[in-house]
Amino acid sequence: MEAVTAAAQARERLRASFASGRTRPAAWRAAQLRGLLRMAAEMEDEICAALRADLAKPRTESYVHEISLVTSSCKFALKNLEKWMKPKKVPAGLLTFPSTARVTAEPLGVVLVISAWNYPFLLAIDPVIGAIAAGNAVVLKPSEIAPATSSLLADLLPRYVDSSCIKVVEGGIAETTALLEQKWDKIFYTGNSKVGRIVMSFAAKHLTPVVLELGGKCPVVVDSDIDLHVTAKRIAAGKWGCNNGQACISPDYIITTKSFAPKLLDSLRKVLDKFYGKDLLRSADLSCIVNSNHFNRLKALMDEEMVSDKIVFGGQSDEQQLKIAPTLLLDVPLDSAIMKEEIFGPLLPIITVDKIHESFALINSMTKPLAAYLFSKDSKLKRQFERNVSAGGMIFNDTSIHLTNQHLPFGGVGESGMGAYHGTFSFEAFTHKKAVLERNFLGEAKARYPPYTPGKLKILKGVLKGNPLAMVQAAVGCTGRARV
């Protein structure tokens, strides 16, 4: 009951701030974005320390994958803010002549952002950037599974942004549920599809629109017509170099041909040895598993009877450190748990097919992924992959890096989510595009008004068909027996 009361009070305070018009001016929006930029720069050490405490995340990953992307988003929004806010003129149309028409971007109001634990700084702040740029008041609920980062955000944000319009609410399931019971103007959730369904069910009670950034089994198709060493490095970087596989766009499984699999395996082994050394569990460049629940979940996937003998590299684990080594598995059964659910960890199955085109049907037999990757020099194969595979995003000859491009939308499709953000798409995610048509008191067309007559109908039909004579007759008010 206390959590519900606190959630309601937080929402009402922000609603009052929004109603006052405080968040609407471009100057306020820009000031908050500059505050976030200062926070990212001035508190880099503290942010990296929190990420280290939560995930044992290497400083390089903390900066490159989280802090720098927040900085990039802020700068992009500041550069484009006035353009985004400016009403856009559109053609008025003949039926409303004389008139002018425009589309005005207005803020939705008070929005709720629920972020994830795997990139706890980036996935908290990036949606908030879009919400602020669009002129909204915001409640941010960081993930309690990354407590150090959650606590840091609760401490830092009031020091760098307007706390009367932007508020952090910490807590667990009770606090999140209390927030979801309130009426918001939009809910932005990043996480898994199970919780996504819960978020959507709460939102439906108030007809609240949602953005769901979920996950899925992201496939990597590897053709034989490639630079093998570069391919292995880029797969490894996207898998184990992104939070040790705990990323929604991390490669989830590889598909390649039976004849090429041994070469790919050998190259991946060499790359992993070079990246992380012989004793994988001692590498300082690998994040730990976030908690014991996820550690045990991953161990269960790896230890399943039909899977355990498919391990061809890695497989070591240390429960005390919450570490699992980069692990390669070859030809695990498609009905095993590891191939039915998103792995979200350092395990990487390799599935073999006779011909590379068979990968399309295999991918499409599963739920639509957040990202799909193809390594090939074959232009025809690339176009076929693009046409036939549905995914939130797609990269040829690399993994994961599409999210760094502020001009590209980032979001899922089907089970991997709905809605998109980043760059312009972040602004649009938190904006209502309002249609505005403006007329003066000239240009009355009598044919539009009752009493209706056959003559009026003929004129209206002619106008709708673009007949110039009918338009003239409508404009001068001719409604009688004129032929159209």
The residues carrying an active-site annotation are 213, 248
Burial of residue 480 (CB within 10 Å: 0-12, 13-18, 19+) is exposed
Sign of the alpha-carbon dihedral angle for 51, 253, 264, 403: negative
Q: Which of 40, 5, 22, 39 is nearest to 165 (CA)?
A: 22
Q: State the CB neighbour count (10 A cutoff) for residue 295.
A: 20
DSSP per-residue letters across 319-368: TTTTEE--EEEES--TTSHHHHS---SSEEEEEEESSTTHHHHHHHTSPP
Q: How far apart are the C-alpha atoms of 306 and 96, rounded to whole Å?
A: 68
Read off the amino acid at residue 38. R
Q: How far apart are the C-alpha atoms of 149 and 283, rounded to whole Å?
A: 23
Sign of the alpha-carbon dihedral angle for 354, 358, 363, 364: negative
Q: Are 435 and 103 in contact (CB under 8 A)?
A: yes
> 385: which strand partners?
none
Tokens 């090939």 sit at which residue?
Answer: 376
Structure tokens, 159: 């020091």
Q: How far apart are the C-alpha atoms of 60 and 312, rounded to whole Å?
A: 29
Q: How far apart are the C-alpha atoms of 467 and 478, rounded to whole Å?
A: 15
b/e map 279-289, b = 16+ CB within 10 Å:
ebbebeebbbb
Q: Which of 307, 361, 358 is nearest to 333 (CA)?
A: 307
Residues 6+ apart with CB under 8 A from 85: 26, 105, 135
Gyration radius (Cα) of the chain, Å: 27
